[in-house]
Chains A and B, each alone.
Chain A
């Protein structure tokens, strides 16, 4: 491997990375400007992502376990401060850079078949390419500023794709919900970035969080947070950590901001597979990976507890859901909870490994769900039934109709449950084992975390089995009510099969480790764990056995319950209602938060209308009154004065003009009179 590296120098690598990142953007531009209505758009996007994937894998091979590479150029200057745009390639980013197109490629291929008859075909691939570009750019960015920009773009393209069928009211509502919830997280991230910039005077993440970065020279003593440049109250560090947590909770659907993800299933299933299962929702975990040195012990404990709680809660909700995609969505939330918990318990390599393995098998399961829903839709349309094609209560017995789909589902399900020989086993056990060690290090103060995590894996085994059994085993439930159903079900063409097979192979252990039972032997784990001590102890033996046995037991119970109908959960109990109503969190939000916001806006509206507008109206009335007074003054005083003057002048004029009557004798007479008067006056004065 070193030989390969010697041949490729840094600038070539940077060019390769930039090419890989830009290709989907080029596809986006071509599709957006030229191919909106054309079926070629799908192949343009697919070709772009294929090239990206090849380049990214090449980069991954070249840079894995090498020294981090950074490159940048001056972007703009404000005052004397220069801002740089650049890329930071370490193990984490090249791994993510390869993962995104590797997941996106099968999804693209699948989509060309899946979306073939949709009128928005071109628009779909335009959005999809935009998403791939944003996601790949997000993972390599060096500047927090640019990372934030792509973080927003990722959220935006997700918004576009959730609302892809925008004429459906539920899709429009779901994308609004997703967008608003992501905004909450974005604000948190923005606040955190501003605080970090204020403290470290740079946006370059590798300078702050890299090896020997500035973060290691900062400390919190008492209530003062000191870095090389500044010191501030320690509360700002907590605020920044809380902002980062919000960002992670919103993007990676952690409690309490997880409720957008199940609703986001309104988008096309292939989109759910790529964005809302494999890549975008992992962005939060990726962010944690980048910002990991920023968190102190207590903050990590909170992360662990929240992740564990989310995992447990989502798993219990998934137990009773009947919508196929909703089950998968809740299982995604649950697995994301594991990853966040993994970061929280400082099992950084296991958490990221789980991110990677989860991306493959969850994408696989979603694509399977897409096929199943597709076929159910066919049945519905062929027979004019009024059913919800996503409801698993209508399904069953698809094992014989869709043999390949069934096979890959089993692989995906086993990986999700975390049984040996699958990739899920490797990563999940890493997290679980580490959680026990962590709990021991913390004097068992947080013993409930590993216990809950293990219980969650059992619950996971149960609901996954329930789903698989209900969909694939037994008899098609629709046949019971409509015996004369005509069925034409197939796995679909190669465009469906190839992605499934590819993802199924990636969900097995050989991709990650040649030893199917030990995650420490995985190249991925070793690459990420270079700085972490791995202890060998009893947990490495007991935990997998406990988890495995428990899982198999619950799987058998689920099979007995849903396959053989030997027993059933009591319906209508408290826990049943709690689970099927999704812990009443959505109801709580719509009752308290939404109502509260609405009431608040009503109050604001009232304030606006009566106080603000009232003030304006009052001013208006005062103005009107004043102008009336001044109009009166103008009319009667100013004009009156003028009119008086004019009238006087007129009167004088009228009086005077009577003398000017043009009669010569009259003039003479007047003259005479004047002379006589002067004469008389003179006489009077003299005498």
Chain B
């Protein structure tokens, strides 16, 4: 029997992997992938907690809603990355340090 804890552990592992990817990768696309991983960890949690709302299936509804939002944000993020590339001729987040000072 797969328990809630197992789901939570998988979700936590997935979140940590996503976080690691976001922090460590030298490519903005990969960072975006890391974000998607963390988002999916959150969605997995929503679905797992959805067993406590069998009537309205709130968990599943929120998961669907989040997936749609993720698709939208990814589209916007890709557009930003494209513009960043045009501006800096690179998408390495280490080189883009205009936020300094």
Contacts and interface: CB of A to CB of B under 8 A. Distances in A.
Partners in one complex: yes
Nearest to A667: B99
Interface string A662-678: 11110011001000000
Given A665-B31, A665-B94, A660 B101 contact: yes
B98 A669 contact: no
Contact of A662 (B22, B31, B101): B101
A663 B23 contact: no
A137 B97 CA distance: 105
Contacts of A662: 96-101
A263 B31 CA distance: 120
- Chain A interface residue count: which class? 10 to 19
A661 B23 contact: no
Q: Is the interface of A mostly helix, strand, loop or mixed?
A: helix
A660 B100 CA distance: 5
Nearest to A661: B100
Nearest to A657: B101
Interface string B64-101: 00000000000000000000000000000110111111
Contacts of B24: 665
A555 B38 CA distance: 153
Interface in A629-687: 657, 660-665, 668-669, 672
B29 interface: no
Contact of A663 (B19, B22, B94, B101): B94
A662 B97 CA distance: 4
Contacts, number: 31
A661 B31 CA distance: 19
A661 B94 CA distance: 10
Q: Is the interface of B mostly helix, strand, loop or mixed?
A: loop
Kindly name the residue among A660, A663, A672 whose own CB sees the greatest number of chain B CB atoms within 10 A.
Answer: A663
A657 B97 CA distance: 13
Contact of B97 (A663, A668, A669): A663
B77 to A, nearest CB: 12
Contacts of A657: 101
Nearest to B94: A663
B93 A664 contact: yes
A257 to B, nearest CB: 96
A664 B22 CA distance: 10
B99 A664 contact: yes
B64 to A, nearest CB: 28
Contact of A668 (B23, B98, B100): B23
A200 B99 CA distance: 102
B101 A669 contact: no
Contacts of A660: 99-101
Given A660-B101, A661-B100, A662-B101, A668 B22 contact: yes
B101 A665 contact: no
Interface string A259-286: 0000000000000000000000000000
Contacts of B98: 662
B96 to A, nearest CB: 8
B39 to A, nearest CB: 15
Contacts of A663: 93-94, 96-97, 99
Interface in A7-38: none
Contacts of B100: 660-662
A668 B98 CA distance: 16
A661 B98 CA distance: 9
A672 B19 contact: yes
Contacts of A669: 23
A506 B24 CA distance: 139
B99 A665 contact: no
Nearest to B24: A665
A672 B98 CA distance: 22
A667 to B, nearest CB: 8
B23 A665 contact: yes
A669 to B, nearest CB: 5
A663 B28 CA distance: 12
A355 B89 CA distance: 127
Contacts of A661: 97, 100
A664 B88 CA distance: 15
Nearest to B97: A662
A176 B94 CA distance: 100
Nearest to B31: A665
B24 to A, nearest CB: 8
A660 B101 CA distance: 7
B45 to A, nearest CB: 18
A578 B94 CA distance: 121
B74 to A, nearest CB: 17
Contacts of B101: 657, 660, 662
Nearest to B19: A672
A657 B99 CA distance: 12
B73 to A, nearest CB: 16
A650 to B, nearest CB: 16
Contacts of A664: 93, 96, 99
- Across chains A and B, which 7 residue pairs bring their CB atoms closest together, nearest first? A662-B100, A662-B97, A662-B99, A669-B23, A664-B93, A665-B93, A663-B97
Interface of B: 19, 22-24, 31, 93-94, 96-101
8 contacts: A660-B99, A660-B100, A661-B97, A661-B100, A663-B99, A665-B23, A668-B23, A672-B19
Given A660-B101, A665-B31, 20 more contacts: A657-B101, A660-B99, A660-B100, A661-B100, A662-B96, A662-B97, A662-B98, A662-B99, A662-B101, A663-B93, A663-B94, A663-B97, A664-B93, A664-B96, A665-B22, A665-B23, A665-B93, A668-B22, A669-B23, A672-B19
